[in-house]
Amino acid sequence: MYTLILWWLAGIIPALAWLVRVAGAARGMPFIPEISGEDWNLSAPRNPRLSVIVPALNEEENVEAALRSLVAQDYQNLEIIAINDRSTDSTGEVMERVAAESAGRLRVLHIDHLPEGWLGKPHAMWRGAQLASGDWLLFTDADVIFRKDALRRALAYGEASRADHLVVFPTLIMKSAGERMMVAFFQSMFLFMSRPWKISDPNARDAVGVGAFNLLRRDAYEKVGSFAKLRMEVVEDLRLGELIKEHRLAQRVAFGKDLISIRWLRGAFGAVRNLTKNFFAIMQYRWWLSLLAAAGLFFLVIAPYMGVILAPGWAKIPYSLTLLCILATYIGMSRHSEISPLYFLLHPVAGALYIYAILRSTFVTLRHGGVDWRGTQYSLEELRKGIAAGDS
């Protein structure tokens, strides 16, 4: 009897959690605009100055295409600031070559020294913002490709929606089944954890930041303390979004199919490699939070598949309901991506790899006593101190 009760409880809790999220997404997601369509083929009425800030460390393979896509934008009141952050390859030379052909749109800042108490990327973006003259600041990455009209459309929506911070979700380039499986899982959990339909609600705690496209009004950037506030944040993009909400500034999100493209990972284990640096940082370097996150993920995304097979009799019902909710999530996501809903069948496989990534991130960081990011070692002690200083 007690065993049957446990089966029911273990099934009902994730079923209710997924049902609430799916119902919320069904109501809210249709209100997130798709700015790649004809409705947003517009220009911002005031023609505000836009500064695009592109930090790069050893990005010689990607940075030229990214910068040329920015130089080719059809928005005129634009400056691009590329930051060569201590690269040891030809990144700086590539930047200078593109700048020489940009008709003055692009300028290059070379950084050869990282001050104490800073991570490289926040420092590079902070330095770039100091040089910027724009009313709006766009922070992006050196491997992002922009369609010719991407910035014009984004600014038009940012101005029309009175945004202080706008995130346009990038189109993720995927070239294998493993990549599609991992991206689909990531997107499903993003919907579950972040509730993007709630992000514009000033009374909701939901927040978002995406390294590929964080667009801010300059005064909002300065109000939250600039990247000086985030100088030791490994996941500075996410934390920037959280700061925006903490200061009760207007945050907006939009879809932009093919406006912004990036290949986020290479192969299924590419996600594990990418997230090894990030997951323990998201847990604020607390091992017990990592263990709770791993257990929670197992409970939410793997146990329901097991329960459908192993639960006795009618106790299979809540597990089946959970799987229907997960399937509905995949069907909804397929409207904004090229991932088939059939990847729902691989959801527990991807979940197991993400649990491995959480545990690996925790173990590797603790074993090495810190994070190795792009060739620079940051001790766990200084990372924890940096977070404490940023929160003060």
User: pLDDT tens digit string along 307-338?
Assistant: 999 898 888 999 999 999 999 999 998 888 88
Of the two residues 47 and 388, the one the predictor is more confident about is 47
For 27, other C-beta atoms within 10 Å of its C-beta total 10
pLDDT(155) > 60: yes
Q: So what's the pLDDT on residue 96?
A: 98
pLDDT(2) > 80: no
Confidence band, pLDDT 50/70/90 cuts, at residue 182: very high
Task: Give the pLDDT confidence of 3-32 residue by residue, as tens digits.
Answer: 878 888 888 999 999 999 999 999 999 999
Confidence band, pLDDT 50/70/90 cuts, at residue 387: low
DSSP 8-class letter at 302: I
Tokens at 2, concatenated? 């007690």
Amino acid occupying residue 89: D
Yes or no: say if 298 and 181 are a contact pair by the CB < 8 Å rule: no
Q: So what's the pLDDT on residue 391?
A: 61
Give me the chain's average pLDDT, please. Answer: 92
User: What distance in Å separates the CA atoms of residue 209 and residue 235, rounded to the nearest whole number?
Assistant: 9
User: What distance in Å separates the CA atoms of residue 89 and residue 61, rounded to the nearest whole number?
Assistant: 10
pLDDT(85) > 80: yes
Alpha helices in 55-90 (DSSP H): 63-71
Q: State how far Cα 179 lies from the chain centre.
A: 16
Confidence band, pLDDT 50/70/90 cuts, at residue 243: very high
Amino acid occupying residue 308: V
Mean per-residue pLDDT, 102-126: 94
Q: Where along the chain do its domains lie?
A: 2-28+269-391, 32-170+210-264
Q: State how far Cα 75 lies from the chain centre.
A: 25
pLDDT(1) > 70: no
Tokens at 176, concatenated? 């294998």
Task: Give the pLDDT confidence of 244-282 residue by residue, as tens digits.
Answer: 999 999 999 999 999 999 998 888 888 888 888 788 888
For 369, other C-beta atoms within 10 Å of its C-beta total 11
Q: What is the enclosing helix (H) or strand (E) of 291? A: helix 287-297
User: What distance in Å separates the CA atoms of residue 139 and residue 210, rounded to the nearest whole number?
Assistant: 9
Q: So what's the pLDDT on residue 284?
A: 83
Q: So what's the pLDDT on residue 3?
A: 80
Q: Class assignment of domain 32-170+210-264? A: alpha beta
pLDDT(221) > 60: yes
Yes or no: say if 138 and 220 are a contact pair by the CB < 8 Å rule: no
Tokens at 116, concatenated? 């104490």
